[in-house]
Structure 1
Amino acid sequence: MRRRPFALLLFLLLPLAAPAQPLTAQRQMVVAGHPLAAEAGLAMLRAGGTALDAAVAVQAVLSLVEPQSSGIGGGAFLLHWSGGERRLTAWDGREAAPAAARPDLFLQNGAPMAFEAAALGGRAVGVPGVLRMLEEAHRAHGRLPWADLFAPAIRLAEEGFPVSPRLARAIAAHAEALRADPAARALFFTAEGAPLAEGARLANPALAATLRAVAEQGADALHRGPIAAEIVRAVRSHANPGVLTADDLAGYAPQRREALCLPYRAHVVCGPPPPSGAAAVLQILGLLGHVEMPALPPGGADAAMALGEAGRLAFADRNAYLADPGFVPVPVAGLLDPAYLTGRAQLLSLDRALAQPRPGNPRRFGPAPPAQPAQPEGGTSHLSILDAEGGAVSMTSTIEGPFGARLMVRGFFLNNQLTDFAFAPESEGRPVANRVEGGKRPRSSMSPMMAFRDGELEVIAGSPGGARIIGYVARAMVAMLDWNMDPQPAAAQPHMGALHGVVELEEGTAAAALAPSLIARGLPVEVREMNSGLNLIRLRREGGLARILGGADPRREGAVAGD
């Protein structure tokens, strides 16, 4: 393949970390979880690349600089808007269970394993999907040569980059598990055995070699041949072994799907279908469409009550119904049916909370499956991109984590994404929809979203945060679409939203002060840290001209880069 060096040359001229990131642009923009990743994506746009080209470059750099959150050993959901063709496409690069995985994968002596016992090692490693997905999407939506897209990440991996405060904290917090893996120990600790400190220079030559192979061979470099063999060996030889095989890696295929869309006042909001979390985000918005949200003060108890109750109802449905539609019937159309949402919305009250929200009964579906108990979710990153031709990407990527299964192969971590399945395959004597099955993709909370008005793209949104992603993204959409906020204040505003049956309020913010009022209305409330990573873009059209506004969540180290 003939290479064009323009993207690489542009990146070499960029500083390793821009001292200030623009929040407004006129032509194009990248908002990503790390400044180096955002700058790599912008370099691709400046070289004439599309939003999809930029997304590949951003993910490659995130694999290096944010290894605790996402990487080529994991999976992703991607929403792509083709501005010229006005076509919206959802891409599913979610990890899949190995063919030999069985419903009892996370049972020990008939009982569910402790989460950490299940999550560390080979047992929970799913077949990675992000590279295959990006490769297929690049064929459909890319312009620059595939190999050029990895040049920034290869250069940074070889030369090194300064360890960020967040990465330093993550290494220290998970030092014991990281030391247990020889490759991770060699990479993230000093010769004296101390975790790398903030500002230390970190090079990853093994990852540079892997990315060079991917640049030259495509995703086959990871799914076939020596790297694939090493992945299988690491998974199956661990003390907590998994069942992944070379055939699983070779046979993985991403899914190209129709996006889910739902009208919300003057807008249409869209995201990927299950097993992503977007259906739950859309349910929350569909319920809030029956509440006068624009009239409610954004930081007030009534807004928190509405967001909390709508979230509790959406989670009740999610925990019963949502799973991989290739394996179980998922009544998505029924869950988003206007008549069904209208009926569920009658349960909402700003004065008194529901005692215990239960799943509804979408028409023609029958009794709800038993609900899956809550389990931890984490280790994720999000990127939002708009190119100069109006093309856009919203992509949420993950290895679960932090640091996935704590298994490092050739410079990158393997995911532990199978822990997103239900550990107990049955409840109340009936199968749980999200139980483990060979080839199945686990239910996800990842919710890359876009919003349109009069057929024109207006918002690109998403966040990391485990199961809290659903509430983070729904609240950000309300902030922009109902309260007309720009992306930066929308990303920064205090969190208030549901996680399963509890309404959480962000500690250390004005939201925490709402607890007494909400408790008095009957809401179960928890005040806690809520570590979102919202990366948002909004287009404001005025007088025939469009301003592009970006917002990066101040709770993390995301950055906005644009022209």
Structure 2
Amino acid sequence: MLRSTVVSALASLLLIAPLVPAQAHPANPQGLQAQGGQARDPYSAPVRVPEVVGAGGVVSSIDPDASQIGVDVLRRGGNAVDAAVAVAAALGVTDPFSAGIGGGGFFLHYDARTRRVSTLDGRETAPASAGPDLFLENGKPIPFADVVTSGLSVGVPGTPRTWQRALQRWGTYSLDKALKPAEDLARRGFVVDGTFNRQVTENAARFADITSTRELYLPAPAVGSTFRNPDLADTYRELRRDGVSALYRGPIGRDLVDTVNRPPVDPAATRTVRPGRLTLADLRAYDAPQREPSRSRYRGLDVYGMAPPSAGGIAVGEALNILETTKLGDETPVQYLHRFLEASRLSFADRNRWVGDPGFADVPTRALLSQKFADSRACLISPTSVLTSPVAPGDPRHPSPCRTTGQPEVTPYEGTDTTHLTVADKWGNVVAYTLTIEQEGGSGIVVPGRGFLLNNELTDFSFTPVTPGVPDPNLPGPGKRPRSSMSPTIVLDHGKPVLALGSPGGASIITTVVQVLTQRLDRGLPLVTAIAAPRASQRNATSTQAEAVFLDTPEAAGLRALGHRFTSTAEIGAVTAVERLPDGRWRAAAETTRRGGGAARAVRPG
């Protein structure tokens, strides 16, 4: 399909997608009060609207309080960067088991004046003491679950530095001003929804073993109750007053380091919670560098993403390149999904072999994103059968049609609880920002008196080489950033924004972004429909992870007939996105049901 056809199809579809009715969360009929605040009268939670069209700027996040804060910033004259930082800080309050100042992320920014896309790498780093044996004891890997809930898995947080750098380079707000709404939200509280309650309940056993975490989150706050976090409010106030140096050089950092190295474990707990080896020098050395984005061409459009240490931009770009030569809009639903899954399988084979921290590994980014390399991989796909996983990687520097090289590598586990926000302002600036603390609840360790959870991002490193004898670019190292799958993405047409999106979901983030992009650009689905569609995620494994609703479709039966095998999961991802309409307005879109539904907001709806 030619670029003009894609843009024409978009122009016709952008104005006809129906709005999805808002869904409100129930009130709290018993007036229940969660830990961390005083009793108050019950009230309904803010409404969750998965789609809105409007002018003056739009915000899409997973949380209505956070999205409303972002729109308020835009309404008061702030730009997309100001709003994105304010939304991210608010998500640290309402979505603390997915993100917060104890974690990191990747910030993608489109500047409407220069028409340039830039990125900030806010990925966490390993301490200077880390080596390739970080997660080994007596020469053997420590059990994964033991590493998750430990100081050993905590990387230097990158989120506060990312906020500072973004505001300095592209924002108009000070950090003080940007964090004030989140501080107020943490102090006054918010209405607990089913996702928040579930996340606490499912982590209750390990939260109970950490005294500071137990004090803040247990017993699990009831749905409809009001949850307050005054310690986090005070922490935000300190960051507002003293800047991020309060964390990287000051008292917040000292408390953080002490918590990592001496986790506050209940003496009665039977869980082994290993200490970390983080230092104040590790915090002082941290930076969130500006990196060139990844870039690929798809149907005449420019697709920008995050370059290494994220594998997101490369894997999304390679999968799209593999699909470039197939007219997906003309394929049957089964053949479209078959090719999407096979392209994902191949891109993961190459991602696992070649992508790591570019400061420590020679990552052939340009070669991996070349159409020549993609064509050498695409010819492996048969319309009538399935590749056997794990598929061996290709050699991007010396691509040869239909040939693989080296040993196949499986995709290691990555925590799925992350969050993504997307913002556009009235000037046309766009932010796609994915941030995380890795596992649901991160390390499970709250910094005492500070109100935020620490990440367990270092578990994204390989514990040992994935394939013995094959170089692994993702082994731990001093100051090294673990590989990520976060995939904030911005699509441009001749330098102007068409679409921006991202998702949580660990390694499935990559496949989620590719699936939504191809359903929107190739299959012509309205954006909110593409986001709501049942998902499947193939990551170079013997079976494809798929949502239960996907497995009940006729397409799944057709894929099984081709040889695809599936494992069921409840949900994959939680997308937020924005797209520009031909008349200059914006559409913000989010999930209709996943995680209770997302929250789209516009400055001037309609």
TM-score where L is the length of structure 1 = 0.92
In 1: Cα distance, 2:470 partner to 2:377 partner = 25
- Following superposition, the deviation at residue 367 of structure 1 comes to 6.3
> Would the alpha carbon gap of residues 431 and 266 (structure 1) be closer, same or farther in structure 2, given more than 3 Å must change?
closer
In 2: Cα distance, 1:419 partner to 1:267 partner = 35
Q: Select the residue among 158, 169, 176 that pairs with 1:140.
A: 169
Structure-2 residue corresponding to 1:292: 327
The answer on 1:363 being equivalent to 2:397 is yes
1:382-431 deviations in Å (ceiling 9; x for gaps):
00000010001000000002110011111000100000000114732344
Q: Number of matched residues?
A: 540
> Would the alpha carbon gap of residues 200 and 380 (structure 1) be closer, same or farther in structure 2, given more than 3 Å must change?
same
Structure-2 residue corresponding to 1:449: 489
Structure-2 residue corresponding to 1:109: 138
Q: Select the residue among 519, 530, 538 that pairs with 2:571.
A: 530
Structure-1 residue corresponding to 2:269: none
Whether the 8 Å CA contact 2:415–2:440 is kept in 1: the answer is no
1:486-528 deviations in Å (ceiling 9; x for gaps):
2211110111231232323321246654344323322233233
Structure-2 residue corresponding to 1:31: 60
Structure 1 ranges of 4+ moved more than 3 A: 18-22, 364-373, 509-516
The answer on 1:150 being equivalent to 2:191 is no
Structure-1 residue corresponding to 2:188: 159
Whether the 8 Å CA contact 1:95–1:417 is kept in 2: the answer is yes
Secondary structure of the residue that 1:158 maps to in structure 2? helix
Secondary structure of the residue that 1:408 maps to in structure 2? coil
Structure-2 residue corresponding to 1:420: 460
The answer on 1:280 being equivalent to 2:318 is no
Whether the 8 Å CA contact 2:103–2:437 is kept in 1: the answer is yes
The answer on 1:242 being equivalent to 2:276 is yes
Structure-2 residue corresponding to 1:5: none
> Would the alpha carbon gap of residues 155 and 16 (structure 1) be closer, same or farther in structure 2, given more than 3 Å must change?
farther
Structure-1 residue corresponding to 2:231: 206
Which shifted more, 510-519 or 316-325?
A: 510-519
Secondary structure of the residue that 1:26 maps to in structure 2? strand
Structure-1 residue corresponding to 2:433: 395
Q: Select the residue among 281, 291, 297 that pairs with 1:263.
A: 297
Structure-2 residue corresponding to 1:405: 443
Structure-2 residue corresponding to 1:322: 355
Structure-2 residue corresponding to 1:349: 382
RMSD after superposition: 1.8
Whether the 8 Å CA contact 1:154–1:208 is kept in 2: the answer is yes
In 2: Cα distance, 1:425 partner to 1:19 partner = 44
1:303-330 deviations in Å (ceiling 9; x for gaps):
2201110000001001111111110111
Whether the 8 Å CA contact 1:370–1:432 is kept in 2: the answer is no
Q: Select the residue among 570, 594, 598 that pairs with 1:555.
A: 594
1:182-239 deviations in Å (ceiling 9; x for gaps):
22212222xxxx3211111111010001000111122112112111111111111134
In 2: Cα distance, 1:149 partner to 1:163 partner = 24
The answer on 1:335 being equivalent to 2:388 is no
Whether the 8 Å CA contact 1:461–1:536 is kept in 2: the answer is yes
1:356-390 deviations in Å (ceiling 9; x for gaps):
32100112599658736522422200000000100
In 1: Cα distance, 2:177 partner to 2:297 partner = 39
Structure-1 residue corresponding to 2:525: 485
1:5-26 deviations in Å (ceiling 9; x for gaps):
xxxxxxxxxx962465651112
Secondary structure of the residue that 1:508 maps to in structure 2? helix
TM-score where L is the length of structure 2 = 0.86
Where do 5+ consecutive residues of structure 2 fail to align?
1-43, 264-272
> Would the alpha carbon gap of residues 529 and 389 (structure 1) be closer, same or farther in structure 2, given more than 3 Å must change?
same
The answer on 1:494 being equivalent to 2:534 is yes
Where do 5+ consecutive residues of structure 1 fail to align?
1-14
Whether the 8 Å CA contact 2:50–2:598 is kept in 1: the answer is no
Match runs of 1:55-70 below 5 Å? 55-70=84-99
Which shifted more, 387-396 or 489-498?
A: 489-498
1:450-497 deviations in Å (ceiling 9; x for gaps):
111122101010000111000000101111111232221111011123
Which shifted more, 367-376 or 163-172?
A: 367-376
Q: Which amino acid aligns with 1:70?
A: A
Q: Which amino acid aligns with 1:520?
A: A
The answer on 1:540 being equivalent to 2:581 is yes
Structure-2 residue corresponding to 1:504: 545
Q: Select the residue among 470, 473, 476 that pairs with 1:436.
A: 476
Q: Select the residue among 313, 330, 343 that pairs with 1:310.
A: 343
Which shifted more, 152-161 or 437-446?
A: 152-161
Quote the sequence identity (%): 36
Whether the 8 Å CA contact 1:374–1:500 is kept in 2: the answer is no
Secondary structure of the residue that 2:571 maps to in structure 1? coil
Match runs of 1:2-41 below 5 Å? 17-18=46-47, 20=49, 23-41=52-70
Whether the 8 Å CA contact 1:24–1:547 is kept in 2: the answer is yes
Q: Which amino acid aligns with 1:310?
A: A
Whether the 8 Å CA contact 1:407–1:413 is kept in 2: the answer is yes
Q: Which amino acid aligns with 1:389?
A: W
> Would the alpha carbon gap of residues 485 and 519 (structure 1) be closer, same or farther in structure 2, given more than 3 Å must change?
closer
In 1: Cα distance, 2:80 partner to 2:421 partner = 11
Which shifted more, 77-86 or 234-243?
A: 234-243
